[in-house]
Structures are given as structure tokens and as C-alpha cells.
Amino acid sequence: MYAHVWKRGESLSLPVGKVVCIGRNYVEHAKELDNPIPDEPVLFLKPQTSLVGAEDALELSDKLAPIHYEAELSILIGKALTKASEKEAVDAIAGIGVALDLTRRETQSALKAKGLPWELAKAFDGSCVQSPFIPLEHDLTAIRYGLDINDDAKQRGDTSMMITPVAALLSHVSQYFTLLPGDIVLTGTPKGVGQLHGGDALTLTLEGETLATFSCVSVP
């Protein structure tokens, strides 16, 4: 059962809520999937049941394969936000981490072609892998994070390259969805997405600090 935890191991006294995701927030990622650059943030949701921690092996269901990774800076909300200003949004950040937005890419492409919602591709059980969190002691406009697979650098994100910065994203989301304590916002993925395989060894880092290391296991 997933629970929010600090990097040093202590549990966070916040409930587990919804996950609000931002699509196409890096120009190069939009280009690599041949998607148009959006005029405003693309929003979609993952339910509580999508969340799994990065402390244990990541199970990849053969029935849902192929499954792709998208590493993202994740924001843990500590105060309720409704129609919030950017300052109010920043003040509500309880912690930051790195998450994987797992995606059934072929299914997503088929759904998009039919003009259908993405839930079957994006919101399945275990589709949001969340690292432990650390306190926000960084400049939100210049946070670097990354994903390595089998000791090979796959993704490198930098908030300075986001189309919509973090504070503006949180404010924008709160105009449509009230963010509650324990909710998570995923802020978009940089270029370098790809497929996961059983046996892959993954490392999530933030500002040079390793937040999580885990392996993938294929399951029926």
C-alpha cells in the first residue's frame, strides 16, 4: 500500500490523494512524439490506485505491455489550493520528488487517434511510481532531475526548460481542480522517453541526490 515518505525514511502525515499530470511541458518531448506545442498546459488525472512507491521492485504486467517511462518532477501538496495565486501555490508545497508517469504508448496512440480519453493508457494500477520526497530547498525555476536505466542516462529534466514554470502550473491547475493536502502534481517530462523491460535497473535523481533505486520485474 502506497504512502508518502521522506527520503530519510519517515512517513509524511498527509493522506494519499489524486495525481494531477501535465502533458507536453517540454518542447523537445512534444517534438519527439510528434505532438503540437500546446497553448496552455495539458491536464489529466491519475487515481490514488495508480500510486506505487519506488522502494520495491516495479512490476510490469505482461498483459499491459509495452509500458513506457516518463520521468517527471513531482510536487506534494500540503495545503488546499483553489484558484490560487502563484505565491499561494508555492507556499503550499510540502515536498518535491521524482515520479515515473508509466504509459501504454501504443494504447495511448490508438485512443488519441479515435479522440478518446487516455485513462486506459495512463491511469491503470501502478502507473505512477513515486520516489520519496525531500523538502523544497531549491530554486523552483532551476531544479534538475534525472532517470538512469542500467547505468545509462535516459532523461535529464531542468525546470528552467519548462514551457509553463512550476508555480504557474500549480496556480493554473487550481483554477480547475482543487488541490488537497496529499495530492501530487507531475509537472511534465523531458525528452528521452522509452520502453521499460523486466530486469531493468532504474535510478531517480534530483539535484545530484539519489532518491530511489529499484528494478523492474515482468509479471503475468
Say what the pTM is.
Answer: 0.95
* Of residues 140, 135, 189, the one with CA closest to residue 160: 140
Give the phi and the psi of residue 34 in degrees, each rounded to 5: 60, 40
CATH code matching the domain that covers 19-219, chosen among 3.30.70.360, 2.40.50.140, 3.90.850.10, 3.40.50.2300? 3.90.850.10
Determine the 3-state secondary structure of 45 from DSSP.
Answer: strand
Determine the average pLDDT of the residues in 14-42.
85
Encode pLDDT of 124-142 as tens digits: 999 999 999 999 999 999 9
DSSP symbols for 161-207:
G-SS-HHHHHHHHHTTS-B-TT-EEE----S--EE--TT-EEEEEET
* Of residues 146, 137, 139, 128, the one with CA closest to residue 183: 128
Answer whether 37's CB lies under 8 Å from 44's CB.
no
Domain extent listing, the chain: 19-219
Q: Which pLDDT score, from 0 to 100, does residue 39 have?
A: 84
Task: Fill in the DSSP letter of residue 75.
Answer: E
* Of residues 99, 103, 77, the one with CA closest to residue 90: 77
Grid coordinates belonging to 114: 479515435
All residues at 6 or more sequence positions from 136 whose CB lies less than 8 Å from its CB, including other chains: 93, 95, 96
Measured CA distances, 137 to 25, 41, 90, 174, 207 (Å): 23, 25, 12, 23, 11
Determine the average pLDDT of the residues in 148-157.
98
**29 pLDDT tier (thresholds 50, 70, 90):** confident
Mode of pairing for the β-strands spanning 19-23 and 184-186:
parallel
**8 pLDDT tier (thresholds 50, 70, 90):** confident
Encode pLDDT of 49-74 as tens digits: 999 999 899 999 999 999 999 999 99
Cα 149 to Cα 194: distance, rounded to the nearest angstrom: 10
Grid coordinates belonging to 18: 489524486
Q: Which pLDDT score, from 0 to 100, does residue 30 have?
A: 64
